[in-house]
């Protein structure tokens, strides 16, 4: 495939600025430079926040129906350029194109469309009092929303915030991860073409700490921050946002348990575990790669899972047969390998690398990329570092358990609580275990099915707050009570 060249820009106040200089944009699959992106600093953040503040006056007061029509055009623009956006996401992230085309871009559009519709299809509560007074609730926009997103699923995660922020009447400044700047720039182009008024949606490219991300978080005229990324970054953002009393929603890391009981359909459990461990080459906050299998099924499951995972094919993300993409960059590859290699691997000596652990031999130019074969480490212990920390790569671990209570306690024995998978044919057990696991979302006999109406977010170190449907409305609006006198 011919290498493209992207001159990524900021999008501020309805204008594309800053292109042609800044930092290199690299294609993770080869580490070749495929463009440049401008490095936003205080001046760009100030300009974007100023533009968003100015636009808020009109956008925030506009009727929800009118906003809906504009956002529908934005979503239609995304769908119309679905093929291009799917390719862009592969250039940005290194994810196989077949994982992008299968519904991915449609979901990117749906994230906007859903909330555009939500605002006109949902009313608000009224509370008549015994004394005859009537209270009703208004959900009013907050102001300027700062959105800070990570590199692993950039378009999905940014529209997940852009959609509700705009639909509920806020204006937006988006700071995408510096490793994946292309998608946000493309979304800005589509917003522009679809006629979104200037300043309603702004993008400032650049870095996080002591730079664009931190300026945005600390900016006195930004009213709320919706952040997705690492737990340590989330903590820093929350601290910084406290000084200006911003509300913060933080979706952070995960270490999802995948609990497989002996009565589970083993072939289905293998397929579900393949997706939960290796989708997006494991660079996935929701990954259910901390696998626990009830002892009678342990060996059979591991054998079948390893055979299936061996069939995952790393390589050219644009080859339709590629099923395992490149990690985001060399430093991240080394971090993931650090869980497996070296003088002190992140597991005790009795554990065994059943599959992978090595880099594939792909030849030029992909041997210059950041590939790791699908990896399974069996017989890990709960206290091993690999069982406790987020690996964020194509690495699954497995350990046996005997009793249901033990499985629950193992599942909950980490600091994270984002998502979990439970696999069993016993409905009562599914209900008990799903209820007992510390996680914002639990999938029973499946993985990564997401209804935009339901709350999404994490417990413990995985997050603060929930987004989705009415939960997004709670975050992206000010609820105001009006009390009507009957006198």
User: Element (H or E) spanning 175, and its range?
Assistant: strand 171-175
C-alpha distances (whole Å) from 8 to each of 12, 18, 40, 136 are 13, 8, 12, 46
Q: Annotated catalytic sites, by residue?
A: 251, 285
Which pair of structure tokens corresponds to residue 308?
């299936």
Parallel/antiparallel/unpaired status of strands 463-464 and 459-460 = unpaired
Residues 218-277 contacting ligand NDP, CB under 6 A: 228-230, 233, 236-237, 251-254
d(C-alpha 394, C-alpha 400), whole Å:
20
Residues 121-160 contacting ligand NDP, CB under 6 A: 148-152, 157
Residues 38-57 contacting ligand NDP, CB under 6 A: none
28 scored as a contact of ligand NDP (CB under 6 A): no
467 scored as a contact of ligand NDP (CB under 6 A): no
Parallel/antiparallel/unpaired status of strands 144-148 and 134-141 = unpaired
Q: What is residue 87's three-state secondary structure?
A: helix
163 scored as a contact of ligand NDP (CB under 6 A): no
Residues 271-330 contacting ligand NDP, CB under 6 A: 285
Residues 71, 85, 166, 177: which binds ligand NDP (CB under 6 A)? 177
Q: Least Å distance between CB 482 and ligand NDP?
A: 35
Instruction: Please identify, using beta-carbon distances, which residue of 209 and 428 lies nearer to ligand NDP.
Output: 209
Is residue 240 left, alpha or beta, with left meaning phi > 0 and alpha meaning psi from -120 to 50? Answer: alpha
Residues, the chain? 487
Residues 204, 214, 274, 433: which binds ligand NDP (CB under 6 A)? 214
199 scored as a contact of ligand NDP (CB under 6 A): no
Which pair of structure tokens corresponds to residue 104?
């991915």
d(C-alpha 244, C-alpha 327), whole Å:
36
Residues 391-430 contacting ligand NDP, CB under 6 A: 392, 418
37 scored as a contact of ligand NDP (CB under 6 A): no
Q: What is residue 484's three-state secondary structure?
A: strand
Instruction: Please identify, using beta-carbon distances, which residue of 157 and 166 lies nearer to ligand NDP.
Output: 157
Check the CA dihedral 273-274-275-280 and report its sign: positive
Q: Which residues contact 437 (CB under 8 A, 6 or more apart)?
A: 257, 259, 408, 411, 412, 420, 422
Instruction: Please identify, using beta-carbon distances, which residue of 38 and 254 lies nearer to ligand NDP.
Output: 254
Instruction: Please identify, using beta-carbon distances, which residue of 99 and 390 lies nearer to ligand NDP.
Output: 390
Binding segment for ligand NDP (CB under 6 A), chosen from 203-211, 263-271, 304-312, 315-323, is 203-211
Instruction: Please identify, using beta-carbon distances, which residue of 220 and 296 lies nearer to ligand NDP.
Output: 220
Q: Least Å distance between CB 432 and ligand NDP?
A: 25
Q: Least Å distance between CB 294 and ligand NDP?
A: 28
Residues 463, 465, 468, 469: which binds ligand NDP (CB under 6 A)? 463
* Buried b / exposed e along 81-120 (16+ C-beta atoms within 10 A): bbeebbbbbbbbbbbbbbbbbeebbebbbbbbbbbbbbbe
Residues 77, 199, 458, 469: which binds ligand NDP (CB under 6 A)? 458
Q: Which residue's CB atom is positioned nearest to ligand NDP?
A: 208
- Chain positions contacting ligand NDP, by CB under 6 A: 148-152, 157, 175-178, 207-209, 213-214, 217, 228-230, 233, 236-237, 251-254, 285, 390, 392, 418, 458, 462-463
């Amino acid at each position: 495939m011919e290498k493209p060249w992207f001159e990524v820009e900021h999008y501020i106040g309805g204008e594309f600025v800053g292109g042609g200089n800044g930092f290199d944009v690299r294609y993770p699959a080869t580490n070749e430079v495929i463009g440049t992106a401008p490095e936003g600093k205080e001046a760009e953040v100030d300009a974007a926040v100023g533009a968003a503040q100015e636009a808020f006056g009109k956008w925030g007061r506009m009727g929800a129906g009118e906003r809906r029509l504009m956002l529908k055009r934005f979503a239609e623009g995304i769908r119309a350029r679905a093929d291009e956006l799917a390719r862009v996401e592969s250039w940005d992230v290194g994810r196989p194109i077949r994982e992008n085309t299968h519904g991915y871009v449609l979901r990117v559009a749906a994230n906007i469309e859903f909330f555009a519709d939500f605002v006109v299809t949902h009313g608000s509560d009224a509370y008549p009092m015994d004394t005859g007074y009537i209270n009703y609730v208004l959900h009013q926009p907050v102001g300027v929303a700062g959105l800070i997103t990570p590199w692993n699923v950039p378009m999905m995660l940014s529209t997940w915030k852009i959609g509700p922020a705009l639909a509920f009447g806020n204006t937006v400044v988006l700071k995408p991860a510096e490793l994946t700047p292309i998608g946000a720039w493309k979304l800005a182009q589509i917003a522009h073409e679809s006629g979104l008024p200037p300043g309603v949606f702004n993008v400032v490219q650049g870095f996080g700490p002591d730079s664009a991300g931190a300026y945005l978080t600390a900016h006195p005229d930004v009213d709320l921050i919706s952040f997705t990324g690492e737990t340590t970054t989330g903590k820093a953002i929350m601290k910084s946002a406290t000084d200006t009393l911003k509300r913060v929603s933080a979706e952070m890391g995960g270490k999802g348990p995948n609990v497989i009981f002996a009565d589970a359909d083993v072939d289905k459990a293998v397929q579900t575990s393949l997706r939960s461990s290796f989708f997006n080459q494991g660079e996935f906050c929701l990954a259910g790669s901390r696998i626990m299998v009830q002892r009678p099924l342990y060996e059979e499951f591991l054998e079948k899972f390893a055979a299936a995972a061996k069939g995952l094919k790393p390589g050219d993300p644009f080859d339709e047969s590629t099923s395992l993409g490149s990690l985001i960059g060399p430093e991240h590859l080394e971090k993931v390998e650090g869980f497996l290699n070296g003088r002190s691997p992140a597991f005790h000596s009795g554990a065994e690398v059943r599959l992978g652990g090595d880099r594939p031999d792909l030849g030029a130019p992909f041997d210059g990329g950041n590939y790791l074969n699908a990896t399974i480490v069996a017989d890990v212990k709960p206290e091993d570092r690999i069982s406790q920390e987020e690996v964020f790569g194509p690495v699954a671990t497995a350990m046996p358990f005997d009793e249901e209570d033990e499985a629950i306690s193992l599942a909950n024995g980490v600091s994270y609580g984002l998502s979990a998978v439970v696999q069993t044919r016993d409905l009562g057990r599914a209900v008990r275990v799903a209820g007992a696991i510390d996680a914002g979302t639990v999938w029973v006999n499946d993985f990564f099915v997401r209804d935009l109406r339901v709350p999404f977010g994490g417990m413990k170190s995985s997050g603060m707050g929930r987004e989705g449907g009415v939960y997004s409305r709670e975050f992206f609006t000010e609820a105001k009570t009006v009390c009507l006198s009957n006198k």
